[in-house]
Chains A and B, each alone.
Chain A
Amino acid sequence: MSAEGEFFLSIAGSIEHGEFYDVNNAYCKYGFHFGPEWSVIAGIEEGLTQMCKCSNDPRNLAVWNFPLEITFKSTNPHGWPQLIISVYGLDTFGHDVIRGYGVCHLPLETGHHEKRVSVYVPESSSAWQRFAAWLTGRRPELIDPAILATGGGRELTRMRVEGIVTVTFNVVLKDFFKLGYNNGEQRRKQRDLS
């Protein structure tokens, strides 16, 4: 089934929940960004969670419990896929506004992983613009959140941290070690056994 020199990365996970400083409802949009040598062979590349009202207790959690399932194939680890999260929610006036962007690499090791991804929003550059944005609901947004996953073009963005999103991953790698790649986990297993 697999061609020479290819390896597969299969992810089953979920976007568990978000914790925010001052947001009381949120939904989450996700997508993947990966290098040119990568391709998706199964699963859904982008999606949208339900809108969740934050829990009415000190945790202030927005639970999405949203499943992620995707399989990639590639010939080169360069361009390893990244998960891009954009959180939106309704503000006091009922406008749909951005609540945060976040990005993380998919784990490079097999097994269960939990990642906490900070999310941040672009800031208005002056107090007047901030007020106008609050009033009209037209807050600064990124045209394409994929800019977060590429190194360049982030010089002029000003961000403010708004919260944290917890994501879990279960990772399976196929043919990765056969190609001679070493991600450190085999040695760790040996050490654990001895």
Chain B
Amino acid sequence: MAELHIIGRISSAKDFKQPRLLCKWSFHAGSGWKILDGCEEGQTQESCDLYTNEPVWDHPIDLYYTTQTLQNSPKLLLQIFHRDAHGRILFGSYGVCNIPLSPGLHFIKCHTWKPIGNWKDRLRDKFLGITLQLKSPSVLVNSLDRFELLTESMGTVKIELHILARNFEKYGCHM
């Protein structure tokens, strides 16, 4: 079986309007991919940078997958939350990004977005901070039901990943 190591970190966020951000992350992979070691989901610290407005999380990721297939390779789901002026933690945005399979160091920029509904939802978002959320974030992974959504763009999350592969060549896969 081929083995894949994903070692790196969720580094930072930029271009968000809110200063104090945190991120919930989880990896999703198809049934052919088995996780042997490492944590597949987690939550970063809440961070702020008063000068550059690029909060740093530096959250370590260290995953060890083994696989028999290339289909449904791992994806990283991100949910960004922020703390508002009243100390509440509110939902901010969603992002999803593919994990590159080619070995080496990759700097990934994941652009994020949030759902906005009709004018009533937008008013509630503006004045109460209640953003619409998806019923289950796994909708992000499938690409079928996205057309129904109306969304707005938010900031970017920077991710830094080292990919180590083993035995893929043995099965004739070149990455």
Contacts and interface: CB of A to CB of B under 8 A. Distances in A.
A187 B169 CA distance: 13
B43 interface: yes
B103 interface: yes
Given A105-B9, A180-B167, A188-B104, A152 B42 contact: yes
A155 B164 CA distance: 28
A77 B47 contact: no
Contacts of A118: 12, 56, 58
Interface string A97-139: 0000011110011000000011010010000000000000000
B48 A151 contact: no
Contacts of B168: 182
A155 B36 CA distance: 24
Interface residues on A, range: 35 or more
Given A155-B43, A158-B20, A79 B58 contact: no
A29 interface: no
A157 B102 CA distance: 34
A58 interface: no
Contacts of B164: 77, 108, 181-183
Given A78-B5, A158-B20, A184 B58 contact: no
B69 interface: no
A149 B61 CA distance: 9
A93 interface: no
Interface of A: 21, 35, 76-80, 82, 102-105, 108-109, 117-118, 120, 123, 148-152, 154-155, 157-161, 179-185, 187-188
13 contacts: A77-B7, A104-B9, A105-B7, A108-B105, A148-B58, A151-B61, A154-B43, A158-B47, A160-B50, A161-B48, A181-B165, A181-B166, A182-B165
Given A105-B8, A105-B60, A161-B54, 17 more contacts: A76-B37, A77-B64, A78-B36, A78-B37, A82-B60, A105-B7, A108-B164, A118-B58, A157-B45, A159-B45, A160-B47, A161-B52, A180-B166, A182-B103, A182-B166, A184-B103, A187-B103
